[in-house]
């Protein structure tokens, strides 16, 4: 009887210690200018990736605190071991070996070539824009089909808004914008009907890039992967996605 009681107490202690270990807080970098995926607001970061990351860690009894900053800076901090992880990172050939990756992508996003509304053509492949001046956003990964392409003339700017303005000023032939980002930005800038998608450019999977060199990153990567699998199974993931679809449809 005494042995049984001792075993019960030991089991309870193990459960308490295990739960306490997970009742923690992790700091993750959220990029500050890629709405509706992730952007900085006065009350903190908001976006699809923000909500998915928070929910996945919550499934493992972990609270997330976000540091909002420029994507380039965030990825550099993670690479140097100064931060645990940063989103939204595409798992491309150029950065595959520099970071740790969780099991499933947060989500996928389609990028399209946009042109001025008087453009009459259709772009069926990246090969068709060889020699053309293409507006891209500095630091973003567009997938190997664009990132490794040496035929197009790439012109980088700090934000999607800047490349759109350059297109409107006829300083670029095309720009690449991702689907939901364009759905949000075009009405916000009041340029409906002035630019249009003229062909699919790329499709990328987006992740939290975890640090290869930070001592705690691998453990947090594994915790996130378990939590992410849980919200996929219990319907939380789909509820978050549908909620954001409704927000975008109604222009918030």
Cα separation, 248 vs 182, in Å, equals 11
**Full-prediction pTM beyond 0.75?**
yes
Tell me what pLDDT residue 252 has.
63
pLDDT digits (tens, 9 = 90+) for 110-153: 999 999 999 999 999 999 999 999 999 988 889 999 999 999 99
Residues 32 and 71 in one domain: yes
Q: Is residue 235 part of a domain?
A: yes
How many domains are there within the chain?
2
**Cβ–Cβ under 8 Å, residues 75 and 174:** no
* Residue 155 belongs to domain spanning: 110-204
Residues 52-69, mean pLDDT to the nearest whole number:
97
Tell me, what CATH number does 79's domain have? 3.40.190.10
Cα separation, 151 vs 126, in Å, equals 9
Question: Which of 77-83's residues contact partners 24+ apart within 8 Å by CB, and which partners?
Answer: 77/29, 78/29, 78/209, 78/210, 78/211, 78/214, 78/217, 79/211, 79/212, 79/213, 80/213, 81/211, 81/212, 81/213, 81/214, 81/215, 81/217, 82/214, 83/27, 83/28, 83/29, 83/211, 83/214
Nearest 10 degrees: Cα torsion 189, 192, 198, 200: 60
Residues 143 and 166 in one domain: yes
Cα separation, 61 vs 34, in Å, equals 27
Residues 102 and 114 in one domain: no
Question: Residue 143: enclosing H or E segment and its boundaries?
Answer: none
pLDDT digits (tens, 9 = 90+) for 204-247: 999 999 999 999 999 999 999 999 999 999 999 999 999 998 98
Q: Is residue 1 part of a domain?
A: no
Residues 63 and 120 in one domain: no
**Cβ–Cβ under 8 Å, residues 88 and 45:** no
pLDDT digits (tens, 9 = 90+) for 177-190: 999 999 999 999 99
Neighbours of 102 (CB within 10 A): 23
With CA atoms as reference, report the closest residue to 208 among 85, 35, 55, 74. 85
Residue predicted with more confidence, 201 or 251: 201
């Amino acid at each position: 009887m005494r042995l049984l009681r001792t075993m019960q107490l030991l089991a309870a202690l193990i459960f308490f210690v295990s739960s306490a270990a997970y009742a923690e807080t992790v700091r993750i970098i959220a990029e500050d200018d890629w709405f509706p995926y992730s952007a900085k607001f006065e009350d903190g970061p908001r976006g699809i990736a923000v909500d998915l990351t928070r929910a996945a860690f919550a499934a493992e009894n972990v609270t997330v605190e976000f540091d909002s900053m420029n994507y380039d800076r965030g990825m550099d901090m993670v690479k140097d071991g100064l931060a645990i992880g940063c989103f939204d990172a595409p798992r491309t050939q150029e950065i595959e070996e520099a970071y740790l990756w969780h099991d499933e992508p947060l989500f996928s996003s389609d990028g399209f070539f946009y042109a001025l509304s008087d453009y009459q053509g259709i772009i069926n492949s990246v090969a068709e824009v060889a020699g053309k001046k293409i507006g891209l956003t500095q630091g973003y990964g567009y997938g190997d089909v664009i990132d490794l392409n040496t035929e197009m003339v790439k012109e980088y700017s700090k934000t999607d808004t800047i490349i759109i303005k350059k297109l409107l000023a006829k300083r670029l032939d095309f720009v690449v914008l991702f689907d939901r980002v364009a759905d949000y930005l075009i009405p916000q800038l009041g340029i409906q009907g002035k630019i249009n998608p003229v062909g699919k450019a790329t499709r990328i999977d987006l992740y939290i890039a975890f640090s290869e060199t930070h001592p705690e990153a691998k453990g947090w990567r594994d915790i996130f992967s378990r939590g992410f699998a849980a919200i996929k199974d219990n319907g939380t993931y789909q509820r978050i996605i549908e909620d954001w679809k409704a927000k975008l449809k109604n222009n918030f």
